[in-house]
């Protein structure tokens, strides 16, 4: 069946891993305490802290019975016995703890997205995408193919990257965004939920990712799947690798798949 919908991962697919790991993550680490102090009184940050606090409570419940619980405690900002600096110190420790473990929690990604917005708004950050991405976006648009993003990064962070990209705003090309609020990228049910949300059948959709585990989950849900083998991506050593087509550039997708 002809493909009329493309769902794209970000890291290692539209955007180099180096941008995320060498630019976005270091930005958080470097300016974390300054950001927490400068924006502490805002509704947005207060809400992020409450979300992190609730995640901490969930982590503690999930870890019940274990001998050692090393998750840094997030202090409740609504508890008057906790000072501003104590709360900030606890939040910073928890954020770094999650980042050190490459955690994909919605609470962490939400916080990062709001902090990155400051960087994009001040032009310190510019979203990097591969040169073939905007060209392929234009080809898909001209062929009436819908494009969606599905990333572990928050929807807000996704929109910032594509709106403030090195090729200008790419947001007009995209029909929608999905993050882990719809489910883990490693679960086939998440892809089914996306299909239901966009009212598409799996055999009309292509998912492109650099992760073999995400590829397997999408494949199980019935989608066409292609692996992104961009230069600098992590090597894939998996017996199921041969199940999937692979490309090193989006332009190669047009030779391997038939689009509407």
Rounded Cα–Cα distance for residues 225 and 215 (Å): 6
For residue 56, give the H/E element and its range.
helix 43-62
For residue 85, give the H/E element and its range.
helix 84-100
Whether the Cβ atoms of residue 63 and residue 71 lie closer than 8 Å to each other: yes
The Cβ-side half-sphere exposure at 218, using a 13 Å CA radius, reads 29
Residues flagged as binding site: 9, 11, 151-152, 185, 210
Residue from 205, 129, 228 nearest 170 by CA: 129
Rounded Cα–Cα distance for residues 195 and 193 (Å): 5
Tally helices (H) and strands (E) across the chain.
Answer: 10, 6
Cα-atom radius of gyration of the chain, to the nearest Å? Answer: 20
| Both structure tokens of 230 | 């961009």
Q: What are phi and psi of 207, to 5 degrees?
A: -110, 130
For residue 34, give the H/E element and its range.
helix 25-38
Residue from 89, 118, 92, 95 nearest 108 by CA: 95
- 3-state DSSP call for residue 168? strand
Beta-ladder partners of 246: 227
What's the distance, CA 75 to chain centroid? Answer: 26
Residues flagged as binding site for Mg(2+): 9, 11, 210
Residues flagged as binding site for substrate: 151-152, 185
């Amino acid at each position: 069946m002809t493909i009329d919908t493309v769902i794209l991962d970000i890291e290692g697919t539209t955007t180099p891993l180096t941008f995320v790991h060498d630019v976005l993550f270091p930005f958080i680490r470097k300016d974390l305490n300054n950001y927490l102090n400068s924006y502490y009184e805002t509704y947005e940050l207060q809400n992020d802290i409450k979300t992190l606090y609730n995640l901490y409570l969930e982590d503690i419940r999930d870890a019940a019975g274990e001998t050692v619980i090393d998750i840094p405690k997030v202090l409740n900002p609504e508890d008057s016995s906790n000072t501003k600096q104590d709360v900030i110190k606890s939040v910073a420790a928890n954020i770094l703890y999650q980042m050190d473990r490459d955690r994909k929690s919605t609470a962490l990604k939400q916080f990062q997205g709001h902090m990155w917005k400051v960087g994009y708004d001040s032009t310190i950050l510019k979203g990097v995408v591969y040169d073939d991405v905007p060209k392929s976006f234009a080809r898909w648009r001209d062929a009436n193919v819908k494009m969606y993003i599905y990333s572990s990064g928050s929807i807000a962070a996704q929109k910032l990257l594509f709106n403030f990209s090195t090729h200008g705003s790419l947001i007009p090309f995209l029909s929608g965004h999905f993050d882990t609020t719809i489910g883990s990228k490693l679960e086939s049910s998440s892809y089914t939920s996306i299909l239901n949300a966009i009212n598409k059948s799996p055999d009309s959709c292509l998912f492109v990712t650099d992760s073999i585990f995400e590829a397997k989950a999408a494949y199980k849900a019935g989608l066409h799947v292609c692996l992104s083998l961009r230069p600098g991506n992590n090597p894939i050593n998996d017996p199921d690798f041969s199940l999937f087509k692979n490309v090193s550039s989006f332009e190669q997708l047009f030779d391997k798949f038939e689009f509407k």
